[in-house]
Structures are given as structure tokens and as C-alpha cells.
Structure 1
Amino acid sequence: MKARLFIAFILVGLLSSCGKQAGLSFQNPQNVERPDEVVVLTKAELVQKTGLAEGQFPLFKNADNSLVPFQLDDMNNDGNWDEVALLLDFAPGETKKITVEFSDGTDYPPVFEKRTNLRLGIKQEDGSYKEVDSYRALPCSDGFKVIAQGESVNWENDKIGFRNYFDCRNVKDLFGKRMPKMIIDKIHTPEMGSYHDLADWGMDVLHCGSSLGSGGIALLKNDSLYRLGSTDVYEYQKLTEGPVRSVFELRYKGWEVDGDMLEAVEKISIYPGKYWFESDVTVTGCPAGSQIVTGIVTSHLKREPFDFQTGSFQCVGTHDVQSLNNDELGMAVIVPLAEAGKIGRTTDINFFKLGYETVPEKGFSNIISETCYIGQKCASGQPAKHYFFSVWGLDKDQWKTEEGFKKYIAEEAEKLSDSISFL
């Protein structure tokens, strides 16, 4: 089983074609409720536990005979599913038994509520946007042009939305939500209107400037930060999208860092019910002593950032009246203690105004400023994992205070430190 708190598995309803049954058991090791836990099993693990045969398809049911939301995912893009993700709720200390039934594929799979979503829409000649599963961004060497819906690769769950600019800026941004519905398919369209204005669903809540925004990536070498941007190649690749999880990769080649040419892949996963996304960053060719860095914008910050250890993680974060709606916004990063590196804060100098104009159309400089950050050890070819959190005061009273935000971070860190067990 993958070492993670999630047990993701999309399960299909009981069909007339079902025959053989088997069982799976999972245990919550903590004495707390754990709703919306995603548990991921490989196909090999499922076959070993249940005897699932070629040509059969699994369905998953709770003790009360209700269907367990699940999805079958082809993570290596070979045309065959190789992982199953289950969405389960656990009572404190509960051992949950799931019945697995087998279908011949008739009326399969069942439809579950969509609680995660991905979108990269590319602008067409008629002004519409066509969703794509893979695409290469335009280089900025020949000028700057927005080609993507919302200017970005977008991802969301039922709690919050994120985007990563699909151009040489490569900065992450935030959509705050006031209701649990999917919205990114409609951003940047007449149907939604301006996502910079407060609407019934929420709004774009973050000012990024030339910072790292809400979890942008850089490399720290000899006390200098180098943005993961303006690379020779910048590609998006969807891996899976569904009700239980959505996963994609951002792939880079030709990343120049102080004379070294590096490659990088950021694999981003989002799950239902969480105010965070998971990121695995793999850099090939790390210079000696360098660190992978994740950062948070500080341009509207009036209080100092916070940092603390919780569970097996180091946390760095901010909480302030800093949203574009002039209300409370909290952002934080947690990284494994064993990998945690330098915690720092950049200058607030506006380098764009000094003439470092990478993207004049957007008032953007490639030199990172107005950012607090945390580093992780960079081992060439080895992924470095972190989790990026964000909450908006307009969504929930708990998010109006730093203490309420920290409490949530600590609770989630404990769960990530003590994952659901597959028995």
C-alpha cells in the first residue's frame, strides 16, 4: 500500500451481472473521526486480496450496502487501469470492512458526485476554450501571449481552487469558494463573468505580483532563489481526473540555475474535502547543497509569518486580512521534518519597477520578491513532497483566526503522519 493518509478507490454499484464477492479491511489508527479519506491500492494488491480476474471489474460496498465512491486510474498511460482509489469515512479507531463484488463491465462504472476537477483550456480561433489532456506552453522568448483559460492550469475540489500560470511566470494562485461546487470549467467565460469580482461561488482571492504566490516552486542555491520559470519546455499532462482524486504533472526542461541546466517535474494531487493539495517535486541535476523551495506571497501581509513543528512535519504559513476581498486568508506549507531546509523571507523590493521586466504586459519580474519560503533537500531524480494549505475567512468562521487555521493544519498533519492501514 502507498504510505499516505488517503485511501482512494472508485467503486461501482451492485449490478445484475455481479457474481463473486470478496472483502477488504481498513483501519483508522487514530481516535478521531476521519471523513473523506482516500485510500489508493494497486491493481496487483486488489487482485491478490480478492482474486479479481481479467475481464472482471470491481464494485465496492459499505456494510449498509451503499456504494463506496471509487475510480479506476491508468497512472502510467498504457491504456489499462493500474490503481484504484476509494473514498471512505472512518469513525474513531474504526476497522472498516468493504465488500468487493465483481462485474462483467455492463453499465460500468457508476456515476458519483464529482468532487475534484482539472482543466487546461486552450483558446480557439472563435474565442472559446478547448480542454486538453496534454499541452506545451508557448515560450516567452518570442513575446508574451495568453493562450490558456484563466491564463492557467486549474485544479479544484469542493473546498478550494488553485491555478498555475501556463507561461513563463509559473506562479500559483487561489480561488476562494463560498459553496461546494466545481467552478474552474467556467472561469474566464461570459457565463461566469470576472473571477476578480465577488460572486455567489467565490472569487480570485490572491495578489501574487512577482512572488511565488500560493506554493510556487524555486531552487535555492548559495542563498539565491531561482524561479522555476522561463524554461525551454513547460508541459502539462493530465494523469487522472474523477470524483475521488485528480492528478496531473507539470514537466520542465531547460531550467537554467546559475549556469546549470536542470529538469523538473511537479506532480500535483487533489482530494475531496481537503483545504490543501499534495505536491511531489522531482528535480534532475540538483547542484550540490541546493534546496527545492516552496513559497507564499507576503505583499499584503501585515503580521509576521508563523512556523511550527506538527506531527512529522515542519510548517510555515501566514494568516492575515490579506485577500483581494479585504478579509482573512490563511496559507501554509508543510514538509516532512526529515527533509526540511531553510526557512526565509525575500526582500519586498519591486524589481519590475527597477527594470527587471520579464513580462511587461503583466507587470512581472522573474526575480522573486515578497515571499516567505521553506526549502527541502534536493536529491537528483528523487521526489520531494509537500502539502500546500489555504483557507478563506468568508468560507468558514474557523478560518477567521490564525489559531483556527493552525488547529486544522495540526489535525491534518497528524493524519498524514498516521495513515489509514490496509489490513
Structure 2
Amino acid sequence: MEDLSIIILFLFVLFVLLGSGVWVGLALMGVAWVGMELFTTRPVGDVMMTVLWRASSSWTLTALPLFIWMGEILFRTRLSEDMFRGLAPWMARLPGGLMHTNIAGCTVFAAVSGSSAATLTTVGKMSIPELRKRNYPERMIIGTLAGAATLGLMIPPSLTLIVYGVTINESISKLFFAGVLPGLVLALMFAGYVAVMSRLSRDWNPDAEPRQGFAAKLANSRFLIPVFALIGVVIGSMYLGYATATEAAALGVIGALVLAAIQGSLSWQTFTELLMGATRTSAMIALILAGAAFLSMAMGFTGLPRGLADLIGSFELSRFELLMVLLVFYIILGMFLDGISSVVLTMAVVEPMVREAGIDLIWFGIFVVVVVEMAQITPPIGFNLFVLQGMTQHEMGYIARAAFPMFLIMVVMVFVLILFPELATWLPDNLRPGPGG
């Protein structure tokens, strides 16, 4: 009963603060402060200073601003245009035609971005005008882009996986390994949906693409060399054990700057804009992480996580039943919070339950990311929906309906992960991360 009163108070204070427009990180700190003042005798100021410093000075966390910076650099280069020119000839003859460039483009860019929003904006700016010009169905253009852009959260380097790893003190490199195969499987499921709809949809009547010979396709493929080279440097250095996630991120930034310089899109002004954009995003996420660390500590002092874990344990749920409860929980939470906030806000309570159930924490990280991906395309706070609304000027309801089939595919992906856990565990178990990774 006491646990329930604490939960109600925490939720009440949190929603009051968030509803009044307070930043998420500060709202989390406010909830933690109130909880410690009311339910513990600890000196709140001392605890807060210690926890905020420890959360902000984590060496693992340095990978986050570096990957964000790399995404900012690539976002402002001609990489997306070149990517479309390289991918389009190979996609044209597939069932679904150039609609696959949305999925393939997001998959490729996710491997150098780490951010769903950056992936969506970059690939969307490239593909939406081209696909509209070729008379592809508008709803499919928007739906596939909304869904495929969420691969930025799964395929390494993933900002959400970095945050998850920092929150539960797990290897970032292992989490990156774990995200590769599920990310590719999800991309294939999206592509399968496009292929099926191209045969079933009455609205599917795109303009025919001019045929190109094999030599012409190979010639256009040269535009893919820069992005694949960068992927090879960033991901390959980790997989081969030469670099930690942080060191790979630094290599990625250097590679992205070199690409921008070669393309002639790097000036002192753009360099300053890149740096400030990455700094703003990194500071926002760092504040959320610091606030969540303080809230986790406050909840630990109140005994709430252990109490809730014991309560759920008393229900004697099987692993599958627990995962179904968490699936519904995160879908509902994702309607109101972004993915990173959902992860850091809940891990203090969820982690003990998951450990108690004997669920692999690396596998569970991928499970959480898939469910958090759904939050990007569920109203009313689906961030990808807002980005697409700004890009296409459609009503939110139209965009949400277009994205709904992709949401259902992600639900199926959750069950695929449960049935075949090796999708997420095989690479981490068989590849050696870099030292300290």
C-alpha cells in the first residue's frame, strides 16, 4: 500500500511538472527531490550533487555527443542525394520499385547516424520529392519513411542503446553487436510489406523507370562508396576489436568531416553550426540522463524498485507474461514520452524485475528498443510523426494512419525476438568487443 502511494505521488509530481512545460531532465530531478524529502532522511543536496556529477562524468557517455556530431555533419552534406543516386538503379526492378529506397536509405543512414530524427529528415528530404514525382502512393511514402526511420534507434550506432547501456552499466559495444541482426530483419520485414502492397494496393501505379544495364548500375554505385566506407570504419573498428564505442565514434567524426571537406560543404560557418547543433542535442540528453540517475537513486532509497519487483514476482508471471506486460507498459508510456526518456525513467524499476526473471539484459535492451521504436510513430507524442508533418504538411491523423501498418510490423518483430532470441545474442556472444567496450 505504501509503494502504491509513493508511485501515485511520483507520477502526480512528474505529470504536473511535464504538463507545465518544465524540461524532462529538470522534471525528473524535481520528482526525485520531492520523493527524497518526503520518504527518506538522507541529505538531498549532497546526494543530488554526487549523483549528477557521477552521471555526467561517465566515460562511456562520451560516445553519445560524438555520434550526434557525426550525424549532424552527414545531415548537412550531399550524402543523402548521392545515396539515392546509388540505390535507385538497384531498387527499381524489385516488387515495390523505388519505394524500397525509403527502407534501404534509412537502413544505410541508420548505420552512420544513430538518431531516428536525423535518419528521417535526411532520407525524407531526398526520397519524398523523388517518389512523389514518380507517382508512388502518398500514404505508402509517408508510412514506410516513418517506420524505416526508426531503424536509427536499432542499427548501431544507436543513441538509445548507448543510453540504455549507460543506465544499466552494460557494454555499449555488445549492445551495438546485438542490434545488427534484429535491425536487418526488421528492415526486411518492412521491405516485404512494400512488396506485398505493390501487388495488392489499387492505388499502386507508379511511373515506369527507364531500364539500366549492369554497367550503368555499377557506375551509379560509386556514389555509395563514401557512406559504406564510413560504416566500415565506424562499425568495423568495433567488430574487429580495434576500438571501443567511444573511439569508433571519434573515428566517425573525423571520417564525416573528411567527407564534408571533400564534397566542399564544410566551411567555418557550417562547422560552427554543426558543433552547436550537436552540443544542444547532447546537452539535452545529458540533462535527461542526469535527472534519471537522481530519480533512480531516490527511488532506490525509498525501496520502491525492490518493492515493485517483489510485487510482480508474487504474481508468479512467466517470462512471456512479464514481457507482454512490459510491452503494453512501454507502448502506453511511449505515447507521452520520447524513447530515451522512457528508457531512463523506467530502468530503476524494470531492471530488477528483468534480472529476477532471468532475462538476458543484452537481449532485453533490443526488446526495449523495438518497443521504443513504436513510440516514435504513435500519437500524440510520436516524434517521427511531428517531423513528417512538418515535411509534408499533412494532418497528424493522416500520417498516423499511414504509419500504423509499420507499428503492427514492429509488434510482430517483438514476437520474432521472443521466439528467436539468438537474433540479438549471437553476435555479442561470438564477437569480441574492443578493450573497455
TM class by shorter chain equals under 0.3
TM-score (norm 2): 0.24
Indicate the structure with greater strand content.
1
Indicate the structure with greater helix content.
2
